[in-house]
């Protein structure tokens, strides 16, 4: 339950202009200061919470009732139409669902705080960036794109990273992704992209996957998709967790100062947990073993007090440099390599509170690229321009009327004074009888705010637009191949192999030979080597190299696997023990104590739920662990000839071997090292043995920071 420091009078919530309410009284408004708005979104939301910890059950209109049996004509008779208790209960239940998001339906969210590093008024007039240490409440929702609301978390997909800042000058949203570019360049093509990617209209197969003809038909007919596709085929499509991915605003936006001068900017969220990714077989197994893996990970990390953090950065470019880098900054299929425009850190965001109610908060939050505040402005990016309409429009479908901004999670911390009235689900009781501007009868209120009055929003004065009306894209958007190649060139060899494996996996599901040929044509424009290696698996002839398209450019900061993690806190370790050996359980307990001190989440696995065992071999699986340790005394159960009715045949060995095959650090304490031989774990990097806990733990923890030992994976050549 959230704690509320000071409850506001109801009139404030209703937006009523009363002297008792510091947020809505026009006189008080003029003097509004930071202290007069609730400090955190949690504090604000707490006012809407319902506490059922005491009291009697009531009807929807407040009368106490009982609701366990319906009202019948005789003890064995029909239920009566008169039974209002039955009708209200069933009717509300029948209407519990709202349409899921058309895209990004599957997601998880959390509350937190953004803290500005400094005064950035030389870049933007945005108030949340105006003072060192200034705190702004945030809510973030992470998501996958293609799957339905109940789909698995670890499918291969672009991931949403949408942030709402509840600033003291209104709500500001960065509705971004974990990949800095997008598939298409003009919003009008979005329905085409989504129709191609979503399941087949007849069978509704496949769920949350792009491994089907229509998706790759679109990708290969619309080469602007290649760049994002390449990121998705790499580790970015299958992150270890939401916490281990970066976020990007994707489009170029404008930062505008109080005096109206503007710069072009790109938003970047840099994870403080480090980037980490699953490997594909592991992700697939996880989708079956724990469909809620990412949701659970975020929730558990926050519950344990280890909420994740991201640093907000911007790349800043002068207005007249939009075409200076050899591509168009209005083209959302391009990113600016960090070498051309360095990242400038602005502040840090930490998520530290889970939603109290998933539906009210995570499901009902309505992000919108059009939620901007003074100091931020759009650009003419035709994808962004369309999004500004779409996100608002789609809420009419989801919430059945225009008052969705009044839902608690969508309300700003600041008072609302608009002249909007009525509509389905109107929550507010407006007292103003003159809801129009200009007026004299309400003394001109609400007053107009702009660049000079009331710290209002204003469009960057330097923006200009002119030209003939055309239904076409600028030729500065024409190059679709050099950045996918730049991206691919900047990966390590093994990451390149993972991209090729992913494309092989996806295209192996294709039935249409024409689509496969078209895919090879496009891949060949990125790299003949890729085209050849994919063609070999598809059993098709590779196209000849087309050197008109190729470059040898590289950029830093792309690879996921070439860096160790800055922190191993909250990573998960499985200790494989045996309930048949009391000494193995003792060793497991000491090991657990030692690892827990380093904030690792430890699960001791045994045959039965004996004392000291957290999970049985019936349920445990390597997908649940970032690293595995076998303790002495448990080695017997890894003998493949040994069977037990207590778990599926070979399960202990399978956990060890899967951990090894999926690149995780694997360790054995003392005599348990024989388990390696019996299960086929080979001696490569990331395999640790030793008979003394401290030494083994130190080495193993270094292995956890390495995260994936990629030398265990095969390269084509």
Catalogue the active-site residues.
104, 177
Question: Residue 198 Cβ, how far from ligand HDE at the closest point, in Å?
Answer: 12
Smallest distance from the beta carbon of 145 to ligand HDE, in angstroms? 7
CA 554 and chain centroid, separation: 27
What's the closest the beta carbon of residue 214 comes to ligand HDE, in angstroms?
18
Q: Give the residue, chosen from 15, 22, 160, 415, that forms a contact with ligand HDE under the rule CB under 6 A.
A: 160
> Is position 102 an interface residue for ligand HDE (rule: CB under 6 A)?
yes
Report the chain's C-alpha Rg in angstroms: 28
Least distance between ligand HDE and beta carbon 61 (Å): 32
Pick from 178, 562, 556: nearest CA to 337: 556
Structure-token pair, residue 246: 């970066």
* Minimum distance, C-beta of residue 365 to ligand HDE, in the bound complex (Å): 6
Q: Which is nearer to ligand HDE, 13 or 187 (CB)?
A: 187
Task: Choose one: 172-180, 450-458, 591-599, 631-639; the region binding ligand HDE (CB under 6 A).
Answer: 172-180
Please identify which residue in 21, 45, 175, 283 interacts with ligand HDE, judged by CB under 6 A. Answer: 175
Residue 590 CA to residue 588 CA, distance in Å, equals 6
When the beta carbons of 23 and 378 are compared against ligand HDE, the nearer one is 378
| Nearest alpha carbon to residue 659 among 639, 675, 648 | 675
Residue 391 marked in a binding site: yes
Name the nearest CA neighbour of 436 among 417, 450, 452, 453. Answer: 417
The residue (of 233 and 383) whose beta carbon lies closer to ligand HDE is 383
Nearest to 313 by CA among 83, 557, 506, 518: 557
Within 383-412, the residues that bind ligand HDE by CB under 6 A are 383, 386-387, 390-391, 394
104 near ligand HDE, judged by CB under 6 A = yes
CB atoms within 10 A of CB 635: 25
CA 564/CA 545 separation, integer angstroms: 36
Choose between 235 and 382: whose C-beta lies nearer to ligand HDE. 382
- Stretch of 98-106, 416-424, 664-672, 698-706 lying at the interface with ligand HDE (CB under 6 A): 98-106
Q: Which residue is nearest to ligand HDE (CB)?
A: 160
Q: Which two tokens stand for residue 455?
A: 């710290």
In this structure, are residues 456 and 449 in contact, taking their beta carbons and an 8 Å threshold?
Answer: yes
Instruction: Copy the structure tokens of residue 3.
Output: 């704690």
**Contact at 8 Å (CB) between 139 and 378?**
no
Q: Which is nearer to ligand HDE, 356 or 390 (CB)?
A: 390
Site for ligand HDE in 610-639 (CB under 6 A): none
Q: How far is the CB of 180 from ligand HDE (least distance, A)?
A: 9
Output the six-digit token pair for 324.
């200076």
**Can you tell me which of 29, 162, 245, 302 binds ligand HDE, judged by CB under 6 A?**
162
Tell me if 197 sits within 8 A of 277, measured CB to CB.
Answer: no
The answer to whether 603 and 620 have CB atoms below 8 angstroms apart is yes
H or E segment to which residue 376 belongs? strand 376-377
Q: Does 242 bind ligand HDE (CB under 6 A)?
A: no
Residue 176 binding ligand HDE, by CB under 6 A: yes
Nearer to ligand HDE, 143 or 379 (CB): 143
Question: Is the separation of the CB atoms in 578 and 613 below 8 Å?
Answer: no
In the set 113, 143, 241, 364, which binds ligand HDE (CB under 6 A)? 143
Instruction: Give the bridge partners for 166, in sequence order.
Output: 171
Residues 314-333 that bind ligand HDE (CB under 6 A): 332
Choose the binding region for ligand HDE from 99-107, 321-329, 531-539, 704-712 (rule: CB under 6 A): 99-107
How far apart are CB 269 and ligand HDE at their closest, in Å? 12
Tokens of 588: 């497991």
In whole angstroms, what is the distance from residue 208 CA to residue 199 CA? 8
Residue (44 or 367) nearer to ligand HDE, CB: 367
Q: Is 29 left (phi over 0), alpha (psi -120 to 50) or beta?
A: alpha
Six-digit token string for 616: 């049985």
Instruction: Give the helix/strand (H/E) hosting 500.
Output: helix 493-507
Interacting residues toward ligand HDE by CB under 6 A: 101-104, 107, 141, 143, 160, 162, 175-177, 182, 187, 190, 250, 332, 366-367, 383, 386-387, 390-391, 394
Annotated binding site: 391
Annotated binding site for heme: 391
């Amino acid at each position: 339950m959230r704690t509320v420091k000071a409850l506001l009078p109801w009139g404030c919530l209703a937006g009523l202009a009363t002297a008792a309410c510091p947020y809505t009284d026009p006189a008080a408004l003029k003097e509004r200061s930071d202290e007069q708005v609730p400090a955190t979104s949690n504090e604000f939301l707490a006012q809407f919470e319902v506490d059922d910890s005491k009291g009697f059950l009531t009807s929807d209109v407040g009368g106490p009732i009982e609701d366990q049996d319906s009202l019948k004509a005789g003890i064995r008779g029909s239920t009566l139409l008169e039974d209002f208790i039955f009708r209200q209960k069933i009717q509300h239940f029948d209407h519990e669902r709202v349409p899921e998001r058309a895209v990004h339906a599957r997601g998880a969210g959390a509350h937190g705080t953004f803290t500005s590093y400094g005064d950035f008024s030389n870049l933007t007039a945005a108030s949340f960036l105006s003072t060192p240490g200034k705190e702004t409440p945030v809510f973030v929702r992470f998501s996958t794109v293609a799957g339905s609301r109940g789909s698995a978390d670890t499918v291969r997909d672009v991931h949403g990273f949408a942030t709402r800042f509840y600033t003291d000058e209104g709500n500001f949203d960065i509705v971004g992704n974990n990949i800095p570019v997008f598939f298409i360049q003009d919003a009008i093509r979005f329905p085409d992209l989504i129709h191609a990617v979503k399941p087949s209209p007849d069978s509704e197969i496949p769920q949350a996957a792009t491994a089907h003809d229509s998706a790759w038909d679109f990708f290969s007919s619309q080469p602007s998709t290649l760049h994002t596709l390449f990121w998705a085929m790499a580790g970015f499509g299958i992150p270890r967790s939401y916490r281990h991915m970066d976020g990007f605003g994707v489009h170029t936006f404008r930062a505008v100062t109080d005096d109206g001068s503007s710069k072009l900017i790109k938003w970047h969220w840099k994870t403080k947990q480090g980037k980490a990714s699953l490997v594909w077989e592991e992700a697939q197994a996880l989708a079956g073993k724990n469909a809620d893996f990412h949701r659970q990970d975020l929730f558990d990390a926050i519950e344990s007090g280890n909420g994740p953090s991201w640093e907000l950065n911007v790349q800043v470019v002068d207005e007249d440099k939009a075409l200076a880098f050899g591509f168009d900054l209005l083209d959302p299929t391009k990113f600016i390599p960090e070498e051309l425009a360095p990242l400038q850190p602005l502040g840090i965001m930490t998520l530290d509170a889970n939603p109290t109610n998933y539906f009210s908060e995570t499901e009902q939050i309505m992000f919108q690229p059009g939620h901007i505040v003074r100091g931020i402005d759009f650009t003419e990016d035709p994808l962004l321009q369309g999004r500004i309409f779409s996100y608002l429009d789609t809420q009419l479908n989801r919430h059945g009327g225009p008052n969705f901004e009044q839902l608690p999670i969508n309300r700003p911390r600041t008072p609302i004074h608009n002249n909007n009235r009525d509509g389905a689900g109107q929550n507010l009781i407006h007292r103003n009888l003159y809801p129009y501007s200009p007026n004299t009868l309400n003394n001109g209120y609400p007053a107009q705010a702009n660049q000079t009055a009331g710290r209002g929003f204003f469009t960057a004065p330097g923006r200009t637009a002119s030209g003939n009306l055309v239904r076409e894209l600028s030729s500065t958007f024409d190059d679709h191949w050099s950045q996918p190649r730049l991206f691919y060139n900047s990966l390590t060899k093994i990451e390149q192999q993972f991209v090729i494996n992913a494309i092989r996996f996806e295209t192996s599901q294709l039935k249409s030979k024409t689509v496969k040929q078209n895919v090879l044509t496009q891949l060949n424009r990125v790299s003949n080597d890729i085209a050849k290696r994919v063609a070999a698996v598809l059993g098709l002839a590779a196209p000849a190299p087309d050197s008109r398209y190729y470059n040898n450019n590289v950029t830093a900061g792309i690879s996921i696997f070439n860096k160790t993690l800055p922190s191993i806190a909250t990573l998960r370790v499985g200790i494989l023990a045996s309930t048949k050996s009391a000494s193995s359980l003792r060793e497991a307990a000491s090991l657990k104590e030692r690892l827990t001190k380093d904030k690792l989440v430890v699960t001791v696995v045994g045959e039965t739920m004996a004392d000291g065992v957290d999970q049985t071999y019936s349920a445990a699986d390597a997908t649940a662990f970032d690293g595995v340790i076998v303790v002495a005394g448990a080695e017997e159960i890894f003998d493949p000839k040994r069977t037990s009715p207590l778990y599926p045949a070979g399960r202990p060995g399978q956990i060890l071997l899967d951990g090894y095959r999926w690149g995780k650090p694997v360790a054995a304490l003392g005599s348990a090292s024989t388990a390696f031989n019996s299960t086929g774990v080979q001696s490569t990097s990331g395999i640790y043995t030793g008979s003394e806990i401290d030494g083994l733990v130190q080495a193993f923890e270094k292995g956890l920071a390495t995260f994936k030992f990629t030398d265990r994976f095969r390269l084509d050549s």
